[in-house]
Amino acid sequence: MKVQLIPIVLLSVALSVTCVNSGKEKGSSIVFQNNEAEKRLEVIMDGKLFTAFCWPDDVYKPILYPVNTSAGTTVTRGFPLNPREGERNDHIHQAGIWLNYGNVNGYDFWGNGHRGVKEPEGGVIKHLRIDKIVGGTGTGSFVSVESWLDPGGKEIVSEETEYHFTAKGSIRIIDRITTLTAGDTAVLFKDTKEGMFGIRVARQLELPSDEGVTLLDAMGNPSAEKDSSNEGVSGDYRSSEGVTGLSVWGTRAKWMDLFGVIGNEKISIVVCDHPLNPGYPTYWHARGYGLFSANPLGWTDFTKGNEVLNFTIPAKKSATFRYRIIISSGVYLTDSEINLYMDNFSKEYK
């Protein structure tokens, strides 16, 4: 059952919003701390930061960053917002968790730039407002409104996204329900691998590589020599269809699990598709270097040209994309456990 959304007034100063059940039910408390001045809405679970919804002007899209396990371990890459020693500094546009696409009416919303370096043909997903926030016990949610703008500042698509958060023991869940609406003219999402719902993970959750990798030093600068030791790198993929490792790239699956160890903590990050999504079951733009992305609209690159999908939203019409991320701390999730989360997700959001 969805959380009922109750409108509140947002101020430009830091505040907390919480709703506590009147009964005796016990569970993780979820509180939202909003700071419009810093363009940041923090999601606090049991007094600890789980993630933050951020919309810096020089990132060109809203993101969830950082993302932590129930134990407080950060699973997202720090670069470029907060570079950490020993991580990659490639693909500067990949930070936190996001949803965008590489070719919308000819404009690039995927590789559109970051930290003030704007690509000339890059679009901007401009955050407009947060309409509703509900905190509580075990679950919480908010609604965000965005505008997809071309390089000249004209709106191509309007966006409304529901973010639902669940805390249950060592499990953390994010459900993102995004509705994109075209204006007076149709909007073309031209077939490309550069999309769509992605997360860039910490170095430890990358897949080991035989190639030397340029990593950041203690000062946040690229090291002069490439590292090939794979020290602490432990990630691996497993799909709902039984495909593993680097072979998952370009395959279809209902869900994908990226699992590995940070320190002594076993971690699973699972992304679930939804049966009502366009292109279900999605193709996976999941790379060994830490990009973990579901792309339901980019068929050509994944099938070597055998399948093509140029997805269009007609004028004044909408398309909805529904995704779930499950983050498990301390244990790896089994197929049966993931399938149960997937089934519940499929039934909950229509």
Write down the domain spans for the chain: 27-216+230-348
User: What per-residue confidence (pLDDT) applies to 203?
Assistant: 97
81-102 confidence digits (pLDDT tens): 999 999 998 889 999 999 999 9
Q: Which amino acid is at 314?
A: P
| Mean pLDDT score across all residues of the chain | 91
131-165 confidence digits (pLDDT tens): 999 999 999 999 999 999 999 999 999 999 999 99
Tell me which residues of the chain have a pLDDT lower than 50: 1-25
Fold of 27-216+230-348: Beta-galactosidase; Chain A, domain 5 (2.70.98)
pTM: 0.90
